[in-house]
Amino acid sequence: MIQNQKILENKINIKFKNKKLLSLSLIHKSFDILSNNEKLEFLGDRVLALVLSKKLFNLYPYESEGNLDKKFASLVNRKTCLKISKNLELEKFLILGNTYKKNSKIEDKILSDACEALIGSIYLDSGYKVVENFILKFWNDEIKKSAKIEIDSKTKLQEYSLKRFQKLPIYKVLAYKGPQHIPSYKVSVKIYGSKFFFGVGNSKKIAEHDAAKKLLKDLKIK
């Protein structure tokens, strides 16, 4: 176990002062129901959120809250934490109960939770600056990808309408036709002071997005 921890420390380039914290971050509840990484995962989740929120806030000073929220969600979701966990090969260091030792595949949730638990242990052992550097290093590619994430038309219109008029856009289904497996919807949308714009699609959601896109185009909002 100690040898494995040294390998992990070298991989993340952090030397733990309290080795027990590192060990605890790798213990799944299937191995020890009382002393495991669940509380460290709880802490790590919050630390990760703080670091990435701060990074996005500084990186995109002119983005709307809605855009920042969407970028943030892409960085802290289970899929991204799982990817980081696999990049770090955390599955090689996890301490699991016999049930999991017999299986060739470890559940995705266990791996993503372990990533957050590791973050929690780094924070407790080395403080904010060290854990911030760790996160920004291993999330660097994902942060770059967040620049390409665009907010959808319906959300963009809602943000505009609330900010400008403190009112939500008004959508209305005007027509529904076609067989159940290939439906066709027609909807209208308007905001305060605008005319009606119309959208069509194979679902209500698609039709609403189409209508919102047309209204945004009329407002010259990209």
Task: Identify the residue whose tokens are 């040898």.
Answer: 3
Do the Cβ atoms of 135 and 119 come closer than 8 Å?
A: yes
Catalytic hit among 116, 125, 132, 208: 116
- 210 is a catalytic site residue: no
The burial of 49, by beta-carbon neighbours within 10 Å (0-12 exposed, 13-18 middle, 19 or more buried), is given as middle
β-strands 184-190, 197-201 pairing: antiparallel
Q: What angle do CA 133, 46, 113 make, to 5 degrees?
A: 90
- 89 is a catalytic site residue: no
CA–CA separation, 69 and 181 (whole Å):
34
CA–CA separation, 160 and 178 (whole Å):
33
Q: What angle do CA 7, 91, 24 make, to 5 degrees?
A: 70
β-strands 197-201, 170-177 pairing: unpaired
N-to-C CA span, the chain: 54
Catalytic hit among 45, 125, 132, 210: 45
Active site residues: 45, 116
